[in-house]
Amino acid sequence: MKTLIKNIKELVQVENSPKLRVMGKEMARIDTIKDAYLIVEDDKIADFGPMSELKEQTFDKEVDATGRMVFPSFCDSHTHMVYAGSREIEYIDKIRGLSYDEIAKRGGGILNSAKRVQEASEDQLFEDALARLEMMKNLGTGAVEIKSGYGMTTEAEMKMLRVIRRLKEASPLTIKSTLLGAHGIPMEYRGCQEKFVDLVIDEMIPQAAKEGLADFIDVFCDEGFFTCEDTERMLEAGLKYGMRPKIHANEMACSGGIQVAVKYNALSCDHLEYTGDAEIECLLGSETMPTVLPGAAFFLNMEHAPVRKMMDAGLGVAMSSDYNPGSSPSPNMQLILSFACVNYRMLPEEAINATTINSAYAMDLSRTHGSIARGKVANFYITKPISTYEYMPYAYGENKVERVFLNGKEC
């Protein structure tokens, strides 16, 4: 099957020599072609260039994109989008001034979602998540990482991971799965959380590995959650089964999580509101992608991670949605682009790189996803008629995506 997308007003983020990630000053650059064509063969990008250079050939399908732009699909490298029910009551409690701790004491927070996931059937979790993936797809996302973490028991964590496995089979999105056994401390383990860490190491990790359910391992390594020592124990156990770490770090405090991530060659460390000079220094020269989650910082009204400082120091930065019912109940990566520009003072080019190639890197997908390059998976969207690519972050809250192609097929 050979498809031509023709008369593209601007083909955004093309790469002739694809990079695995972009860092520092490079983040402010994206290459584009005006009045362009894009050729897709089966599920891959075969070629692209200016219309004036399009050679005479036959196609099975032609799409006229006059007035419209083509972007590589967003890569959303951090989500918790398998969950049961919503938590808007806690949201109101927060507006009324209750703290995270007070909400947790009322049975809210992560433990609230855990109770609901434990009670939900695997089929219900699957159906709900599939509907959310459809929403993500229509907003321009083509690849997503999904974490467990609302299970809190081995049984419920494996149920979540099996749901993710079914989603991988049923959805056109590319999906990576992460075991986040250590997301919160169940009530019965308060005061003896090392026993819960033992459970993650002795049961959850081996069982997930045995069934081939997890690509990566995650830990909420932060003040009030899991310590650096807990985290190291769990990451070592995961690495024995080939699960590369991607960890939650430095959202609550300068807790040492970034250093642990680098020590264990994590693919990414995520959140990073509390990132100082020592953390930036530690990340420089590492393979770990600092990943910022602007939706959670917005929704929880938090300090912003020092993204400009990180990029000035030479680091690459990725951005993702953190889609979850507690701290970021939105799957919309177009909004992440806008938050990146307004709240983190990123240029549109930097925001686009953060949400595509760098977020692809953060889930080990940048060889095949995250830009328009020959041989990459044909995951892209055609916009509605728009004036410039800068219009994407500028017109916040509006869905600028008109048509979506994943694996070369319109869907």
CB of 228 to ligand NIG, least distance (A): 16
x-marked contacts with ligand NIG along 80-99 as a string, rule CB under 6 A = x-------------------
List binders of ligand NIG among 209-248 (CB under 6 A).
Answer: 220, 248
With beta carbons less than 8 A apart as the criterion, state whether 362 and 373 touch: no
Q: How many Cα atoms sit within 13 Å of 288 on the Cβ side?
A: 30
Task: Work out the number of other CB atoms within 10 angstroms of the CB of residue 44.
Answer: 16
**Residue 326 binding partner per list Fe ion, ligand NIG, none, with a CB distance cut-off of 5 to 8 Å that depends on partner kind:** ligand NIG
Size of the site for ligand NIG (CB under 6 A): 13
Per-residue interface string for the shown chain with Fe ion, residues 298-327, x marking contact by CB under 5 A: ------------------------x-----
Q: How many Å apart are CA 337 and CA 309, to the nearest integer?
A: 18
The secondary structure of residue 202, as a DSSP letter, is: I
Q: What is the rounded CA–CA span in Å between residue 16 and residue 260?
A: 35
Whole-angstrom Cα distance, residue 411 to residue 405? 6
Interaction mask 338-377, ligand NIG, x per CB under 6 A: ----------------------------------------
Site for ligand NIG, residues 246 to 305, rule: CB under 6 A: 248, 251, 296
Euclidean distance between CA atoms 332 and 323, whole angstroms? 8
Site for Fe ion in 36-55 (CB under 5 A): none
Q: Which residue has the CB atom at the shortest distance from ligand NIG?
A: 326
Which range in 51-59, 61-69, 108-116, 133-141 contacts ligand NIG by CB under 6 A?
Answer: 108-116
Site string for ligand NIG, 303-332 (x = CB under 6 A): -------------------x-xxxx-----
Dihedral sign, CA of 231, 233, 234, 239?
Answer: positive
Number of residues in the chain: 411
d(CA 2, CA 59): 5
- Min dist CB 59 to ligand NIG, Å, is 44
Calpha distance 139→184 (Å, rounded) = 30
Is-contact 395 57, C-beta < 8 A? no
33 versus 136: smaller Cβ distance to Fe ion: 136
Tokens of 139: 């907003």
For ligand NIG, the binding residues (CB under 6 A) are: 80, 109-110, 113, 220, 248, 251, 296, 322, 324-327
For Fe ion, the binding residues (CB under 5 A) are: 322
